[in-house]
């Protein structure tokens, strides 16, 4: 029996069930163990580890054998004794705009909902007149902010295409955000599987969901974020894809207010080396100054007392 740890959110459970189905098809018995994370209890918790810490504790304690994460939520440092062991085939990595045909179609001063500093930086780098409205919650909660009768209505929201597709919620009019500044979050669209580093049986079992090409891209993207020291106050994007010339990796660092941003794109074969090279080139172009300015503008929110709640 493989005990598969997952957050309780609707999207997390859809993702966990997809992995469980693949494992079952390969002949494994699987039990999904729902775990409430710090992020589920307090969405403004101070860092991205809020989505994975309790899952990693359950792994370390032997309460689960495997954890399923949205790869973009996994911090750069993995606790001793644990390891990322597989990555599923990547789905659409792009962000999409819901509520308007494009950013250009929005009126002056339109309200755009997102809680991501990266997305805010990219939108404002494109149109400084737009107003970013902090919009948290699960996918349905954020889509609900578009309703005409919502007390804090927004004109558009930005969401990950992959999450919408997995939930069957992607509207026909969702507009992909493309252009030099619109680099997705590292790992966006990918599921990362984490296990105890010495669990050879689990490492063999997850081969049925592992995609080597996606893994190489995930390693390169995570190297960019790690080498830049990206955290919850960072507007950092990294996106890698396989081309005839090798791995092609784009990186982005921006100021959350849109006042400055840098991008770089390089080709290589070794994911770690490629990620390190892009991070270094971004630094030489001014990334460190942008990251420090972002930390001053958006210091981590002090952690509040937790309250138990099941996401809607």
Q: What's the CATH code of the domain at 239?
A: 3.30.160.40
Q: What are phi and psi of 54, to 5 degrees?
A: -65, -35
- The range of the structural domain enclosing residue 148 comes to 95-176
Catalytic, 77? Answer: no
Are residues 15 and 48 both part of a single domain?
yes
Assess if residue 59 is contained within a domain.
yes
**120 domain-assigned:** yes
Q: Which of 40, 65, 73, 264 is catalytic?
A: 73
Report if residue 145 sits inside a domain.
yes
The per-residue pLDDT for 295 is 83
pLDDT of residue 147: 93
What total of structural domains would you count in the chain? 3
Tell me whether residue 72 is one of the annotated catalytic residues.
Answer: yes
Which carries the bigger pLDDT value, residue 297 or residue 64?
Answer: 64
Q: How far is CA 2 from CA 122, 164, 207, in A?
A: 41, 28, 14
Contacts of 305 (CB under 8 A, 6+ apart): none
- The set of residues, in sequence order, having a beta carbon less than 8 Å from that of 248 and lying 6+ positions away, is 240, 241, 242, 265, 266, 267
Residue 43 is among the residues annotated as catalytic for this protein: no
Domain assignment present for residue 55? The answer is yes
Mean pLDDT, to the nearest integer, of 166-170?
92
> Is 118 an active-site residue?
yes
CATH of the domain at 9: 3.40.190.10
User: Which one of 90, 118, 166, 196 is the catalytic residue?
Assistant: 118
The model carries a pTM of 0.90
- Give me the mean pLDDT over the 89-100 stretch: 97
Confirm whether 310 is domain-assigned: no
Residues found in the chain: 312
Residue 296 is among the residues annotated as catalytic for this protein? no
Q: Yes or no: say if 146 and 122 are a contact pair by the CB < 8 Å rule.
A: no
Residue 181 inside a domain? The answer is no
Is 184 domain-assigned?
no
Q: 73 with 122, same domain?
A: no
Same domain, 218 and 232: yes
Question: Active-site residue 136, yes or no?
Answer: yes
Residue at 311 is within a domain: no
48 — pLDDT class (breaks 50, 70, 90):
low
Give 1-30 as a DSSP string.
-EEEEEESSHHHHHHHHHHHHHHHHTT--E
Respond yes or no: is residue 307 known to be catalytic.
Answer: no
- Closest by Cα among 228, 267, 214 to 84: 214
**Placement of tokens 């948290």 in the chain:** 136
Mean pLDDT to the nearest integer, 263-282: 98
């Amino acid at each position: 029996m493989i005990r598969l740890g997952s957050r309780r959110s609707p999207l997390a459970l859809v993702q966990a069930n997809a992995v469980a189905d693949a494992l079952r098809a390969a002949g494994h018995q699987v039990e999904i163990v729902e775990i409430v994370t710090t992020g589920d209890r307090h969405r403004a918790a101070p860092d991205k580890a809020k989505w994975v810490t309790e899952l990693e504790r359950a792994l370390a304690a032997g309460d689960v054998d495997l954890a399923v994460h949205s790869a973009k939520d996994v911090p750069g440092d993995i606790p001793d004794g644990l390891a990322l062991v597989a990555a599923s085939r990547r789905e659409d990595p792009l962000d999409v705009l819901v509520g308007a045909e494009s950013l250009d179609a929005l009126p002056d001063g339109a309200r755009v909902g997102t809680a991501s500093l990266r997305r805010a930086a990219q939108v404002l780098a494109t149109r400084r007149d737009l107003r970013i409205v902090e919009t948290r919650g699960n996918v349905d909660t954020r889509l609900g902010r578009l309703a005409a009768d919502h007390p804090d209505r927004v004109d558009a929201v930005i969401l990950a295409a992959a999450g919408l597709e997995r939930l069957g919620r992607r509207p026909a009019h969702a507009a992909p955000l493309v252009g030099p500044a619109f680099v997705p979050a590292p790992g966006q669209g990918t599921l990362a599987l984490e296990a105890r580093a010495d669990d050879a049986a689990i490492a063999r079992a997850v081969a049925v969901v592992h995609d080597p090409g996606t893994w190489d891209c995930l390693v390169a993207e995570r190297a960019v974020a790690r080498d830049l020291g990206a955290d919850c106050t960072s507007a950092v994007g990294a996106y890698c894809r396989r081309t005839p010339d090798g791995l092609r990796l784009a990186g982005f660092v921006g100021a959350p207010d849109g006042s400055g941003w840098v991008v770089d794109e390089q080709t290589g074969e070794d994911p770690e080396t490629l990620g390190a090279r892009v991070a270094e080139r971004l630094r030489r172009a001014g990334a460190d100054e942008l990251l420090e300015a972002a930390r001053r503008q958006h210091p981590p929110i002090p952690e509040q007392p937790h309250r138990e709640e099941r996401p809607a």
